[in-house]
Amino acid sequence: MADLVEPDYVPQPASKDCSECFDPAAVGRGREPPRADFFAYESEALALWRAPRTASRRCLDLNGTWKFTWSPRAGQSPKGFERFDFDDASWGGMPVPGNWELNGYGFPIYTNVDFIFKCDPPNIRYRGDDPDYNPTGTYRRSFDCPADWLAGGLQVYIHLGAVCCTCRAWLNGQELGFSTDSKLPVEFDVTPHLRPGRNVLALQVLCWGAAAYLEDQDMWWFAGITRDVYAYARPRQHLQDLAVRAAADGSLELDAEVVCSSGLTGCSLQCRLYDGAAELANFGVPLHQRTNSIAVGRQAVSVPGVKLWSSEAPHLYSLLVSLRDDKALMTEAVCLRVGFRTVEIRQGRLLLNGSELTLRGVNRHEHHQLRGHVVDRESMVTDIRLMKQNSFNAVRCAHYPNDTLFYELCDELGLYVVDEANIESHGMDFNWDKTLGNKEEWDVAHMARVRRYVERDKNFPSIIIWSLGNEAGNGINHHRTYMWLKRRDPTRPVQYEHARWRTDPDWNTDNIEKMDANTDIYCPMYPSHKKLEKYGELYEGDVHARPLIMVEYAHAMGNSLGAFKEYWDVIYKYGVLQGGFIWDWVDQGLETQKNGKKIWAFGSDFGGKDTPTDLNFCINGLVQPDRKPNPHLFEAKKVMQFVTYRAVDLATGIIEVRNRYDFLTLEHLEFSWQISQNGLVTESGKLPGLSTGPHQAENILIPLPQLNAGPRCEVHLLVSACMRAAGGCFEAGDEVAWEQWLLHPPHKEEVPAAITGPEPAVDQAPELVTVTAGALTARIEVSRGCLCGLAFGGLELLASPLLPNFWRPPTDNDYGANLQNDMKCWRFAGQRATVTNGLRIEPGPGAVSIGAELLVGAGAKLHLDFRVSGAGVVVAAKWRPARKDGPQLATAGSVGYLKGSTHRHIDVEGNVVRARWNDMGAWQSLTMNVAGKEAGKPLEDGDKLALQAVTGKTESKLLLHGLVPIPSAATTPPGYAGAACAVEATGDPQDPIWTLRRAAGEGHVLSGDKVTLEAGGKFLAVVENFVVAVDEESPFTTFLLEVKEQPAPMRIGFTGSLVDGFHDVEWFGRGPHESYLDRHASARVGLFQGSIAEQTVKYVRPQENGNKFETRWMSLKRRPADPCTMMLISAAGQSQMLEMQCHHFALEDFDGGDVKAQQSFLHAGELIEQATTAFCVDAIQMGVGGIDSWGRKPLDEHLIKPDQDCDWSFQLMPCKEDFDSDWRRRLL
């Protein structure tokens, strides 16, 4: 109990200023000891009903509009504001709960890692244009104290649910105390200061004090009172604290602490346990005096036949605890929800009730799109229901204790919870000699935060794991909190991601870190699939191993969550891998207006130009700010579904069904099957019910009908499991799990069928070749070899030419991996491709073939053949990347390596430039950004360029700097007699200060050329292992330039646009949502339709979106009265499936260019819908990735290979649907 440990604060006298706010050890003064969350009612009926506390006569709700004034300076409140008689008539109003920045005071600031103030603990100096900016909010609230509270001699307390960041409180001019921790309640005893009638509560709230160094979470820096405020009354003898432990064996233990300032005087404690209305146990708790003011009691009983609590069956009991006086009269009653369950780690596994758990988890911030950090019940219920409906069974409270209502709802609706201390000092260095986690002066603050949240939340059965905090380094303070917590609550494991050894403070993507002792679970951040596999291989059979549960993984920023299925393939392979928590649940966007349009605002949208920001790195959600699902939520649901299937023998219809629930059988599910032919359902049926046990599997037999499928028919089998009845977060019929198999593939004809129809006529002009065949007219541009016109029935259909395309609007993951620069050579490569040997025109029966060979970029070739007939245009393409027949051509934007005369490469680590090894790795990579030359253009003698190096990375971006000479830093490297100065990687990565000269003279620069680089009269040189700038040329200034192989393109395909009038789309392929090479498990094969406008996924920041992976055909539709009612785009020849997309937006409007922050349309709400329809037809597009968003590319198998050939064909078929009702058959 709370009084059995030392106080959580250092008593201090009140100060006239806010200096204690900047003392790390000053965590609180005058506040009540931490206790479990409960409300004591004046009647047992109210307690059992679990009535809103406002229904009690002992509660006074203080939410609403408070008087408020704001200052941009720390501690600057109006003089005497705390006085009872202070005149606040001129003040404004502030909603409580409410964030200042969303109610007219100050401005929202978002950063991920860096503090918004200079890192100099415990001092605060804002990093913006005003270093003294540190707002103070001053509140006043009048209330009338109920007369019966005073007449009855009740003890009265003020409850402040959460105040950010530090708070001082007064009642009627008398100071109550001081508190820190923005995510926990503070309570003050106001009894001595109450007056009959009107009372005035005054608060002074400071935005950032020393405590802010422990609250550097990846979220908005909001201030204010963010949870409920109320006054409540208690009898003089009352329940101070209750701790309940209910185990899977039916044992029930209750520890009680009673305030009894005048002695026990016959008071007693009675408990009754109910299951609904049925009373299961009735027992007393003997009390004995512990101190002059505190009595304690403990009782243990056994309850036979209890129903156990789990996320799958969250059965709760009600424990009514009644305190009675010496006359046996009930003085107050508390009702606690009790879930019987046992959490333990045994033999290398996390167990609940003896069963191994698999946590399908997600990290969740408290965020509301309008109210910021003020989250109501409706929003919480929406989140939990969506999580449950999408296969989640666990949530991590990232990175602080939540409103207790959220835990109550998790208890009731069934979610496992990782509860976390409000500790993150991410902006500090993680090294043990720098982190606050290893500083003695921060010991009290760390301990107070852990103790207070554990005491508050200890009775919630949904909480199965405690966390010491997030990204706060490691050291003595975390060791002490771990040891305290293990003593305080031995019934739950404790985790801490940063519990790493002193010599290994940072986490590693691919390798297993050396772990310290202060964690029971190995909970890495953003491990690769390779790392999980490695841990599984090492520790699967080790009964002493820590179970691995990823604390954060699959960074869901923008268009992401690629290779998510591959994560779960590994998890299911090894029992020691017990799941993880996706980062994260909700895009932390704020609804606002920009140029009259609603947008979801993020970091750069508020404040002045000097406001610290990490842009849109707060947009990492599976759902958008209004909880509209992003497409990758569906991928998470499918991959983590609780029932999986495996084809045992498709020919006879034998399917294995595996129950991946940890406790439920499959009796609550109804199974069905269906057969589809070319996307249309032709047969379906119900399956017998299954009672397969948890973690078990059994085979089922699908009564497959006789398939009468023609050679062009594609047949699929789908098996689905849906809820039999409504319950919890589900409605009857909700689909829980499905799988689909190909039963009969289509067989493409080896020899294409002869084309019938009108003979085409060819008109050749110097710039254009026109082919007319019946109602169709196609035009081919001679210089670019592209289809620039396509008309049907006199209606021109193309608004822009059909051009090769090797680029996509970069995703957030692309930006994080610097692909917008590394692959820049492909941005305009398709538009600038040129015909090498003119067009080849070959008339034939019923069709004309027009061939062209295009030179693309630095040596790649695209061979095209347009086959034009009355039925449409077939485009056959062959992609041949540049062959390394000779030395690699150096191009603007390419990556090179500079080897000095000592056979050492220039090497950059951080900002330090050296020449250490004869290696060509990440540290030796230099991107050559050339002045006035587009990426991909050949590098030539005399070009001016910047030498760009990656100098580090954060969780939001790669750090890029240019190599620059530092004339003021003179140096004398050994073995060099002349003057020299240092070279550092501290310059602008785009500033072209170096002039490149080939030893061979004028011409293109090739890999293997000897070169010199000169900047302002200084030559780059390598002397031994020193990189310096010298005044004269010498052998030290000559470098061998080695050029890295040109990267593969992001996609290989075509793009174009159609004229106004196309509104709807139908397609046969994967859907209904977008899908990609590495994210398509959730998109089933079928026939889908909708408006073209609906196909654009409006990620908060526009980027690549709307792809349809493995599409057989796509039909873009117009009005029936038009001469052409459809444009059919279908795979042709040997290409059975392609990737397609369509939009009513220009593709370039999704593109952020070189610098994301300078994107023309930075928010989806700003996009301007076009009358035209943009479309893409791709042979392949690289995956979207998803390990992290700050460096990792998609997995190798989801990338296009630099030497990968591609052959593909598709056809454009304009037609009039009224005259061609069998057009679907013709597509096959």
pTM for the whole thing? 0.93
Q: Is the pLDDT of residue 7 over 50?
A: no
**Residue linked to tokens 């990375």:** 953
Torsional class of 776: left (φ above 0), alpha (ψ -120 to 50), beta (otherwise):
beta
Does the pLDDT value for residue 879 go beyond 80?
yes
- Please tell me what DSSP assigns to residue 151: H
Q: Specify the pLDDT at position 1022.
A: 93
**Res 527 pLDDT > 90:** yes
Distance, in Å, from the CA atom of 1021 to the CA atom of 1032, rounded to the nearest integer, reads 10
Percent of the chain at pLDDT exceeding 70: 97
pLDDT at 593: 93
Q: Which alpha helices (H) appear in 564-683, and where do they start and end?
A: 564-573, 631-639
pLDDT at 1222: 56
SS3 call for 1127? strand
pLDDT of residue 1127: 96
Q: What is the DSSP string of 324-361?
A: E-TTS-EEEEEEEEE-B--EEEETTEEEETTEE--EEE
What's the pLDDT band for 753 if we cut at 50, 70, 90?
Answer: low
The DSSP code for 777 is E
Give tens-digit pLDDT for 1007-1064: 999 999 999 999 999 998 899 999 999 999 999 999 888 899 999 999 999 999 999 9
Q: Which of 228-237, 665-674, 1208-1217 has the lowest mean pLDDT?
A: 1208-1217
* Helix, strand, or coil (residue 453): helix
Q: What is the pLDDT of residues 300-342, one digit of tens each?
A: 999 999 999 999 999 999 999 999 988 889 999 999 999 999 9
CB neighbour list of residue 843: distance below 8 Å, 6 or more residues apart: 760, 762
Per-residue confidence at 754, pLDDT binned at 50, 70, 90?
low
Q: Are 110 and 613 in contact (CB under 8 A)?
A: yes
Indicate if the pLDDT at residue 248 is higher than 80: yes
Is 9 a residue whose pLDDT tops 50?
Answer: no
Average pLDDT over residues 76-89: 95
552 given a catalytic annotation? yes
Asked if the model's pLDDT at residue 1226 lies above 70, the reply is: no
The active-site residue out of 471, 513, 714, 853 is 471
Amino acid identity at 835: V
pLDDT of 1199 above 60: yes
Contact assessment for residue 399 and residue 129, using Cβ atoms and an 8 Å cutoff: no
Average pLDDT over residues 1070-1081: 98
State the pLDDT confidence band at 165, using cuts at 50, 70 and 90: confident
Query: Across the chain, which distance is largest between two alpha carbons, in Å?
Result: 110
| SS3 category, 588 | coil
pLDDT for 935 equals 82
SS (H, E, C) 459-501: CCCCEEEEECCCCCCCCHHHHHHHHHHHHHCCCCCEECCCCEC
Tens digit of each residue's pLDDT (9 = 90 or more) over 618-656: 999 999 999 999 999 999 999 999 999 999 999 999 999
Residue with tokens 């654009």: 1096
Three-state DSSP at 157 gives strand
Within 10 angstroms of residue 625's Cβ, the number of other Cβ atoms is 21
Which of 366, 424, 455, 552 is the catalytic position?
552
* pLDDT band at residue 279 under the 50/70/90 scheme: very high
* pLDDT at residue number 2: 40
1051-1078 mean pLDDT: 97
Two tokens, residue 1142: 């369509």
Neighbours of 282 (CB within 10 A): 12
* CA nearest neighbour of 939 among 817, 823, 825, 819: 825
Where do runs of H (alpha helix) occur along 265-321?
Answer: none
Q: Hey, what domains does the chain have and what are their CATH numbers?
A: 2-35+54-233 (2.60.120.260), 238-338 (2.60.40.10), 353-586+621-636 (3.20.20.80), 641-744 (2.60.40.10), 761-883+1049-1184+1195-1227 (2.70.98.10), 895-1043 (2.80.10.50)
Q: Is a pLDDT exceeding 60 seen at residue 1221?
A: no
Please count the CA atoms within 13 angstroms of the CA of 564 that sit on its side-chain side.
33
Residue 1220 confidence (pLDDT) above 90: no
Per the model's pLDDT, the better-predicted residue between 755 and 206 turns out to be 206
Question: Helix, strand or coil for residue 147?
Answer: helix
The answer to whether the beta carbons of residues 391 and 642 sit under 8 Å apart is: yes
Is pLDDT above 60 for 840?
A: yes
Tokens of 379: 């929003």
User: What average pLDDT is seen over the chain?
Assistant: 93
Q: Which helix (H) or strand (E) holds 1225?
A: helix 1223-1227
Among residues 889, 1021, 898, which one has the least CA distance to residue 949?
A: 898
Are 401 and 420 within 8 A, CB to CB? yes
Nearest to 229 by CA among 143, 107, 128, 353: 143
Told to judge if 471 belongs to the known catalytic residues of this protein, a careful annotator would answer: yes
Calculate mean pLDDT across residues 225-233.
97
In this predicted structure, the answer to whether residue 265 has a pLDDT above a threshold of 90 is no
- Per-residue confidence (pLDDT) for residue 314, from 0 to 100: 98
Task: Please say if the pLDDT value at position 8 is more than 50.
Answer: no
Helix or strand holding residue 537 (H, E): helix 529-539
Query: Cα–Cα distance between 208 and 221 in angstroms, integer?
Result: 9
Question: What is the per-residue pLDDT across 973-1018, written as a single tens digit (0 to 9) for each?
Answer: 888 888 899 999 999 999 999 999 999 999 999 999 999 999 999 9
One-letter amino acid at 140 equals R
* Unique residue bearing structure tokens 């649907």: 1217
Question: Would you state the structure tokens that stand for residue 461, as one six-digit string?
Answer: 């059965």
User: Does residue 957 surpass a pLDDT of 80?
Assistant: no
* Beta strands 416-420 and 394-397, pairing class: parallel
pLDDT score recorded for residue 901: 82
**Which among 342, 325, 337, 252 has a CA at the least distance from the CA of 287?**
325
